A and B are shown apart, each in its own frame.
Chain A
Amino acid sequence: MGTLAYVEVLKRNGEVLARHAVTELPCYIGRGYDSDVLIDDPYIDTTHLEIEEIEPEGVLVNDLESVNGTKHLSLGTPFVSGMVLPNDVLCLGRTRIRIRSCYDAVQETLPMHHSSLPDRLNSTTSAVLALLIFLLVVIAEIFETATQDAIKQMFYGVGTTSLGLVGVVIVSAVINRVFTGATHLAAHVTLVSLAFVVMCVGEAVVEYTFFAFDLSGTDIAKIVVTLGSLMGMLYFQMGFITRVTRRSRLMTVLMLSIGVAGWIWADRELDPDAYAKQNYNTVLKPRIFLAVPGIKPATFFEQTQELLKRKVDDKAGH
């Protein structure tokens, strides 16, 4: 008897890891050595699923009262028994499968250059991303420098960094989605924190090299804290390509929060003078970065003096 269908074991991004031929019905899928399709996953039963019937419109599948159950990923619901369509993905334990029957239409052959596009784009994507991050650092710097004001500066600092990060998330998500099909949250988070590290290291290096800034203890603390949180996340997310649990997701969020909190703490507490120093220290840039028209002296005094007076009076305990 010829092959009736194939059971495909999938990666999270949809790539096929393995194909098992179905030659007779009913066909049993499970961890046991007596299964027709053997899957090595401790979270599935010895006989987990049964393929009962193969029909032109789909495949009739039953869950054999398994301990962890089966999930219909395309519908997002628990699966017990029913017709599974050709593109539907089922999740057994931590394994994803798709069932292709011999009735399924074969897709047209794609010309070669199309299939190699993602490979070529991967390096381009990285380059674009790196450039984007560098631009964000520069833009954040220009804004910070040009419009520095005690309160605004705080918002600009936090705001531009956050905006930059959101931008990186969106861009990387779109790129990944379009060209690789990956949608995994942890991948993005890791990418973002990597961008974070690049941003602060980049900023520190750029400042130190070109603008004669001090590489302060705060900068080093920032880098250490961010690198630490990245390492922690990588550790907890080692297997993020194939499995993600609630615990690891929680851990990711926790580590990221600790990282951000640590950053803010380091910024404000570790070197309390650094915050004030930033305002009036060696804030001077080469002209290429000064695309700011400048305000009239009268406006300068209008804008700054009231705020300044209030702050000085407050600090003096008035």
Chain B
Amino acid sequence: MSTDLRKHLVRAALAMGLIMGSSTALINLADAAESASAQSNTANRIFKDLQSRVLQIELHPRGGGGNAATGTGFVVSHDGLVLTNYHVVGNAVLEPDLYLLEYQAPGGQRGNMEVVAIDVIHDLALVRLSGARLPPLSFFKGTLAKGDRGYSLGYPLSQGLTVVEGTYNGLSENHYQPHFHMTTAINSGMSGGPTVTADGHVFGVNVARRLDGQLVSFVVPSRFGEELLRSYETAPLPASGFKTEIARQLQIQAEAISARLLSNSTGVKVLGNFRVQDMGSIGVECWSSPMREPEWRYEIDDHQCDSNSDVYINEQLMMGRVKYFNRILRSDKLGVTRFAYLQSTRFEHKIDKDVDRKHLGPYECSDRIVALKGTRARAVLCTRRYLQFPGMYDVILKLTTVDGKNEALLSKLTMLGFPWKDAMRVAQHYMESIAWVP
């Protein structure tokens, strides 16, 4: 399984777990037992201190019925502001007509809550409790060292408030947005809960867990929560403007990514006789896979990179991600025509037919023969627009060289949820950096 696919599973599964509430697929009893045995007195004290201020957040369909999703939130201000993950409350933000938010405290008190500020890039949201006034949790101000203890609180799979002890392991190395890597058992339903130091100060917000590993969990550094709180207190946003706000935040991230991709710091990667842009410098994850089969009369070398910068918008939408895929096709045994045939079939472009008509318009494409450095290529530019987020597009640039007799480059650049101008500039830069150097 490619890392690309695995990456999808992390978020998708987390979101799915939230929707299904009690999805058994995610319960890992072995993990739970392991964590439970590691509990200490500190965990005991933290639980007692904080339990009244860590709430379960429930997303209900307005038409009645049970929970659509559950998550966790914790109090961060005296006037009833609660910090949680954006992905816990995302549906209520995007479709306020369909969903409403409620909270349930460990004591059993219930009440309504509404979203007042969001930070989709870091997957954070501020919600306001109606009525209840609770003392806030305090944020951690110092720095942590790898190996420090961290205690995560939340309501895993609606099992009641739980505290889990784990180990802080610094910044994750393959996330575009800063995430602390925690070795602990964060499960669906704990999203949005606090991860605190032994003194009970919040240093992270529970956000995700890798499904393909053991206890590899991630928390959002709490400073982003503090920033969100500050910006809300200085300039609150009208609830009607959330979609524009999402587009604005995505745009800022896209601009930052684009600037890094366009800067000269991106290097050059040599693949066979081709030179392509190397995006390694933007902190993306890259991997190569040569493919040789005895019965094949050709060779394939793949190289692909992924920015891992996707931003969760809802179950269907992940925006703000760049990835590219380069394939070198080489053969000494095939004639010109048969090689061209092979290249044609490998160049096939199957655009996803199950287009999400609710969120995305249809793809449109345009294609030409372009003159690159040292070779010509057929370039295909495809794009579609996001219906709810003005100015955001998916852009795919595919190209394949047409001059080599027995060697060809097939390249695909994908940008999901990017502003038009940035996407076009990145695509052009990407295209211009391809060269044939036999």
Chain A residues in the interface with B (C-beta under 8 A): 145-150, 210-212, 273, 276, 279-287, 290, 292-298, 300-301, 303-305, 307-309, 311-313, 315-318
Q: Quote the shortest CB–CB distance from B158 to chain A (angstroms).
A: 39
Can you list 8 pairs linking A and B with CB atoms under 8 Å apart? A280-B349, A281-B349, A282-B344, A284-B347, A290-B376, A295-B369, A301-B424, A312-B364
Contact call A294/B347, Cβ cutoff below 8 A: no
| Neighbour of A284 across the interface among B364, B371, B387, B402, CB < 8 A | B402
Residues of B within 8 A of A295 (CB): 368-371
Q: Quote the shortest CB–CB distance from B227 to chain A (angstroms).
A: 33
| Neighbour of B363 across the interface among A212, A276, A318, CB < 8 A | A276
Q: Given A146-B369, A295-B368, A317-B361, answer yes or no on A284-B344 (Cβ-Cβ < 8 Å).
A: yes
| Neighbour of B428 across the interface among A149, A283, A290, A301, CB < 8 A | A301
Taken together as a complex, chains A and B put the C-alpha atoms of A312 and B376 apart, in Å, by 27
Q: Which of B323-356 contact A (CB under 8 A)?
A: 336-337, 340-341, 343-345, 347-349, 351, 353
Contact call B387/A316, Cβ cutoff below 8 A: yes
Taken together as a complex, chains A and B put the C-alpha atoms of A61 and B364 apart, in Å, by 72
Taken together as a complex, chains A and B put the C-alpha atoms of A293 and B376 apart, in Å, by 8
Contact call A297/B432, Cβ cutoff below 8 A: yes
Taken together as a complex, chains A and B put the C-alpha atoms of A254 and B389 apart, in Å, by 50
Residues of B within 8 A of A297 (CB): 370, 372, 379, 428, 431-432
Contact call A279/B380, Cβ cutoff below 8 A: yes
B336, closest chain A residue (CB): A286
Residues of B within 8 A of A305 (CB): 381, 420, 424
Residues of B within 8 A of A316 (CB): 361, 384-385, 387
Q: Apart from A292-B376, A312-B364, what 13 extra A-B contacts exist at CB < 8 Å? A: A148-B366, A150-B365, A210-B341, A279-B365, A279-B380, A281-B348, A281-B349, A284-B378, A287-B402, A290-B369, A290-B402, A298-B428, A312-B385
Residues of B within 8 A of A284 (CB): 340, 343-344, 347, 378, 400, 402
Residues of A within 8 A of B383 (CB): 308-309, 312
Taken together as a complex, chains A and B put the C-alpha atoms of A281 and B427 apart, in Å, by 19
Contact call A315/B349, Cβ cutoff below 8 A: no
B367 close to chain A: CB less than 8 A: yes
Residues of A within 8 A of B393 (CB): 312
B147 close to chain A: CB less than 8 A: no
Q: Quote the shortest CB–CB distance from A6 to chain B (angstroms).
A: 63
Q: Quote the shortest CB–CB distance from A145 to chain B (angstroms).
A: 8
B94 close to chain A: CB less than 8 A: no
Q: Quote the shortest CB–CB distance from B351 to chain A (angstroms).
A: 7
Contact call A315/B364, Cβ cutoff below 8 A: yes
Residues of B within 8 A of A149 (CB): 366, 368
B398, closest chain A residue (CB): A280
Chain B residues in the interface with A (C-beta under 8 A): 336-337, 340-341, 343-345, 347-349, 351, 353, 361-372, 376-385, 387, 393, 398, 400, 402-403, 420, 424, 427-428, 431-432
Chain B CB within 10 Å, residue with most, of A276, A279, A318: A279
Taken together as a complex, chains A and B put the C-alpha atoms of A148 and B366 apart, in Å, by 7
The 10 A-B pairs at the shortest CB distance, nearest first, are namely A316-B361, A294-B371, A280-B365, A304-B366, A294-B376, A316-B385, A212-B344, A286-B340, A280-B380, A297-B431
A147, closest chain B residue (CB): B368
Q: Quote the shortest CB–CB distance from B395 to chain A (angstroms).
A: 9
Taken together as a complex, chains A and B put the C-alpha atoms of A317 and B362 apart, in Å, by 10
Residues of B within 8 A of A211 (CB): 341, 344
Contact call A308/B381, Cβ cutoff below 8 A: yes
Q: Quote the shortest CB–CB distance from B241 to chain A (angstroms).
A: 19
Contact call B431/A282, Cβ cutoff below 8 A: no
Contact call A294/B369, Cβ cutoff below 8 A: yes
Q: Quote the shortest CB–CB distance from A143 to chain B (angstroms).
A: 12
Residues of B within 8 A of A279 (CB): 365-367, 380
Q: Quote the shortest CB–CB distance from A5 to chain B (angstroms).
A: 68
Taken together as a complex, chains A and B put the C-alpha atoms of A146 and B366 apart, in Å, by 12
Residues of B within 8 A of A296 (CB): 370-371
Contact call B337/A286, Cβ cutoff below 8 A: yes
Residues of A within 8 A of B337 (CB): 210, 286
Q: Quote the shortest CB–CB distance from A274 to chain B (angstroms).
A: 13
Residues of A within 8 A of B428 (CB): 297-298, 300-301
Q: Quote the shortest CB–CB distance from B277 to chain A (angstroms).
A: 12
Contact call B369/A308, Cβ cutoff below 8 A: no
Contact call A287/B336, Cβ cutoff below 8 A: yes
B382, closest chain A residue (CB): A280
Contact call B431/A308, Cβ cutoff below 8 A: no
Contact call B368/A300, Cβ cutoff below 8 A: yes
Taken together as a complex, chains A and B put the C-alpha atoms of A301 and B381 apart, in Å, by 9
Q: Quote the shortest CB–CB distance from A159 to chain B (angstroms).
A: 18
Q: Given A280-B380, A287-B336, A300-B370, answer yes or no on A315-B362 (Cβ-Cβ < 8 Å).
A: yes
Contact call B364/A308, Cβ cutoff below 8 A: yes
A284, closest chain B residue (CB): B344
B377, closest chain A residue (CB): A294
Residues of B within 8 A of A298 (CB): 428, 432
Residues of B within 8 A of A301 (CB): 381, 424, 427-428
Taken together as a complex, chains A and B put the C-alpha atoms of A118 and B340 apart, in Å, by 44
Q: Quote the shortest CB–CB distance from B361 to chain A (angstroms).
A: 3
Taken together as a complex, chains A and B put the C-alpha atoms of A307 and B398 apart, in Å, by 18
Residues of A within 8 A of B344 (CB): 211-212, 282, 284
Q: Given A279-B380, A285-B340, A290-B402, answer yes or no on A304-B385 (Cβ-Cβ < 8 Å).
A: no
Q: Given A146-B369, A308-B381, A316-B385, answer yes or no on A282-B348 (Cβ-Cβ < 8 Å).
A: yes
Residues of A within 8 A of B398 (CB): 280
Taken together as a complex, chains A and B put the C-alpha atoms of A305 and B431 apart, in Å, by 14
